[in-house]
Structure 1
Amino acid sequence: MTAAPGLSVLIHRPGRPPARWTHGLAHLETATPITRRTAFTIGSTTKQITAHLALLAARDNLLSLTQQAHDFLPDLRVPDVTVAELVTHHSGIRDTESLLPLAGLRDLDHYTADDLITLATRQHSRAVPPGTFLYSSTNYLLLTRILQHVHQQPLDDIAHARLFEPLGMGHTRFRNDPRDVITHTASAYTPTTTGWRSTAQPAPLPGAGSLTTTPEDLSRWLTHLHHHWQNTRTVLPLDTALAYQASDHHPYLYGPGLYADPRPATRQVFHSGHEHGFSTAAHLTAAGEQIICMSNHAGIDAAALARTLTPHLTDLEPDQLPGLLTEHLAPLPPQAPCPPEPGRHHDIGSYRCADVPGTLRLTRTLDHLHLWRRGTADRLTATGGETHTGPGYTLTLHTASAHPTGFTLDLARAPALHYTRINRPDHTRAEPP
């Protein structure tokens, strides 16, 4: 047994025995191996379960998918957002977890789902035009609040009664509190230059990514979904209840917590998830074939594993799984962090955004702009005109002056954040602020 975290894979094809493979350790501290009973946190793969609970609530007349989210969430300021738009990521509400570093939080600072909801209620307008897809886990945090409001129950109780118990998913539950103890659940790890580090984080995302389950249990859900798909004879599962729409990855569509490939030769639904070092992928084809991959190794991408297996579904034998996936089990070694750039930092100013608490600062060295928050900085790269890029975002200055009056930050899941200068710089610092 290798002394490293690993993965669990299940291939299900109707009429054939399942192909399964586990590799690596569920817990490095106790050298506990991954087995078929090991549960993983599945990140955004959770969304299909939460979305299905919303469809069941609509079927039972507890809510309407066309109903205004504000009817259930009176503090929500973004106008005219419907329940269906939350499900399909068409609300235009920014992903508030993406905003945490801008609000001054560090990796190990504690935050809760309530804090993320509070960030969502600061937003007063859509970040993208109506009808535009913007993937945001905040949609599902809000959807969870709606479900709990109409059922007057916690999400885990709703899911257990409506799905998990009827489908025999005995190893599946929502972790709504990071202190919850769930037996047989793997821990996740990331490689470092000196060994391994736990990737545990202080807050799960209820309804958006906090589900723990096993490949066997997730297969039971996908089998149930496929039976419904076959019986209704729809092009895509559940599309009569909620239409699939264009997503952020052409030609794929997005519907009830599922991406979909609508092309007849490759018709399938799928989702992947990444949460705090875990990664998961779940694929279901129109023929009922399933690929489920789960990993607790931050350097292994479950979605890449699933893509590797897809061309081999027809003729795959169980003993071929290790050979097909070997290349994914030896990820590149971690890179050492870059040392801070020396030199004099000329203060440009401090800036504030109405949609995010806290302030950001800009400084300039000889060759680069630097964006600061709570004593740490990103060195920005000029990409043309007044546009600069940082890790995961683009910054566009509003003016070309030495002390611009503002800038716009565009994160992948939180675009159009407008920052305005709140002071004029009055000195030059010889060291980074």
Structure 2
Amino acid sequence: MPALLLASAFAIAGGVSSGESMAADAVPAEVDRLMQQYDGSGPGAALLVLQDGQPVLRRGYGLADLEQGTAVGPQTNFRLASVSKQFTAAAILLLAEDDRLHLDDPVRKWLPSLPVAGEAITLRHLLTHTSGLIDYEDVMPDVFDRQLRDADVLEILEAQDRTYFAPGSAYRYSNSGYALLALTVERASGHEYPAFLRERIFQPLGMENTLAYVRGGPEISHRAYGYTAVDGVWTRTDQSPTSAVLGDGGIYSSIDDLAKWDAVLYDDRLLADESRRMAFAAATTTDDPDVDYGFGWRITGDSLWHSGETIGFRNVIVRYPQQRLTVVLLSNRNDPEPYSTALEIAARFKR
């Protein structure tokens, strides 16, 4: 592992650095108050605050597995849901750097079974949610004898010879697009999507417990199970019919591994400078006037962020690159929404 990554991993393993400021020393009690809703005997959350590459807060709250009474810790792996999209985007950018594909390739170059209505859609449109693709969740069969996979998304879209709008003319958040990007990674690389992520991203970065989860494949270590409050009782709701679609939300990771991911977003150890510039640049406005979208990242002011929501999990990562400040909040419950809490926590560490 590169020296900088080893240093980052050592800092994470060792907890808060001795160089922490006095202001930061005074913050944890206030953060614990904000995180109190996750603490106790219910499903919980893991919280990481990184400042200048060091973990100034690295804590678990509540339980990862209610049935076994397993507490959340820094190594607990949560289903990231749409936070996964930044890894799908990174995979596409790596293949573009390899000259295996180009961002302005028509999607039908790689997935020729898509209907003619999608002939003007490019990979760039998929990355930025400007493709106009039909949402597969809206047209999937009411009864399906197994979980959907990315290939099933393609099959569903093959029957939809229409788009919501002309590609590139508008924005509409699209899980369909990121499922097709995962399939494109497979076609362009010759490797299955989980293997490509493992070999090109997770293993080189030392993200040893991060994976795109497939039933029957490697098991998830330190796994958090998802829960939903039903009539005041926490009920396990860990998987849905769409939980096996990988490109739009199927990655499991922990705050410790995401600290390693955050570290390489500052330099060219994984992605070239131009690739990171494109990923973090505002490519389109969104349906929120305060938010733009890049490649797998939302952009608000000086922050880069993305949330992720799926049955039993709600997560967010918020980065302030100019301040080298990052907050990661991962939870295995359907409520509350974590973005506002992450912003409140970040405000207490901003300089």
TM bracket (short chain): 0.7 to 0.9
Deviation at 1:64, TM superposition (A): 0.8
Instruction: Please say if residues 114 and 154 of structure 2, whose CA atoms lie closer than 8 Å, have aligned partners that are also in contact.
Output: no
Name the residue aligned to 1:282: 317
- Distance apart, 1:68 and its partner CA: 0.7
**2:81 paired with 1:46:** no
Aligned residue in 2 for 1:273: 308
- AA in 1 matched with 2:237: T
Q: How many residues were matched structurally?
A: 305
Q: CA deviation digits over 1:393-429, x for unaligned, max 9?
A: xxxxxxxxxxxxxxxxxxxxxxxxxxxxxxxxxxxxx
Q: CA–CA distance in 2 between the matches of 1:240 and 1:300?
A: 28
Match of 1:152 in 2: 190
Shift of 1:13: 0.5
In 1, distance between residues paired with 2:91 and 2:122?
16
Residue in 1 that maps onto 2:155: 118
Deviation at 1:129, TM superposition (A): 3.2
- State the identity as a percent: 26
The answer to whether the 8 Å contact 1:176/1:205 transfers is: no
| CA displacement 1:94-122 (0-9 Å, x = unmatched) | 2212333xx4349xx63312332222122
Write the distance in 1 (CA, Å) between the matches of 2:53 and 2:80.
27
TM-score, normalised relative to structure 2: 0.80
1:182 to 217, 220, 227: 220
Q: Work out whether residues 307 and 315 of structure 2, in 8 Å CA contact, stay in contact via their aligned partners in 1.
A: yes
How is 1:214-293 mapped onto 2 (pairs within 5 angstroms)?
A: 214-228=254-268, 237-239=276-278, 244-261=283-300, 263=301, 267-286=302-321, 287-293=323-329
Distance 1:55 1:232, change over 3 A: closer
Alignment of 1:7-406 (within 5 A): 7-14=45-52, 17-77=55-115, 78-100=118-140, 103-105=141-143, 110-113=146-149, 114-131=151-168, 132-177=170-215, 181-193=219-231, 195-200=233-238, 201-202=240-241, 203-228=243-268, 237-239=276-278, 244-261=283-300, 263=301, 267-286=302-321, 287-314=323-350
For the residues of structure 2 that align with 1:7 and 1:269, how far apart are their CA atoms? 21
The structure richer in helix per residue is 2
Distance 2:290 2:40 in 1: 39
Deviation at 1:232, TM superposition (A): 8.0
Higher RCO, 1 vs 2 (CA within 8 Å, ≥6 residues apart): 2
Distance in 2, Cα, partners of 1:240 & 1:256? 4
Q: State the AA in 2 paired with 1:4.
A: G
Q: 2:236 and 2:211 mapped to 1: Cα distance?
A: 22
Contact 1:40 1:295 in 2 (8 A): yes
| Displacement after TM superposition at 1:35 (Å) | 1.1
2:253 alignment partner AA: T
Q: Which runs of 5+ in 2 are unaligned?
A: 1-38
Following the alignment from structure 2 to structure 1, what is the Cα–Cα distance between the partners of residues 345 and 139? 35
Which structure has the larger Rg over C-alpha atoms?
1
1:380 aligns with none
SS at match of 2:304: strand
Stretches of structure 1 that go unaligned for 5 or more consecutive residues are 316-433
Is 1:84–1:242's contact at 8 Å kept on the other side of the alignment? no
Question: Root-mean-square deviation (CA), in Å?
Answer: 2.5
Return the letter of the residue paired with 2:48.
Answer: L
Shift of 1:251: 2.8
So what's the TM-score if we normalise by structure 1? 0.66
Q: Which has the higher strand share?
A: 1
Q: Deviations over 1:370-392 (max 9, x none)?
A: xxxxxxxxxxxxxxxxxxxxxxx
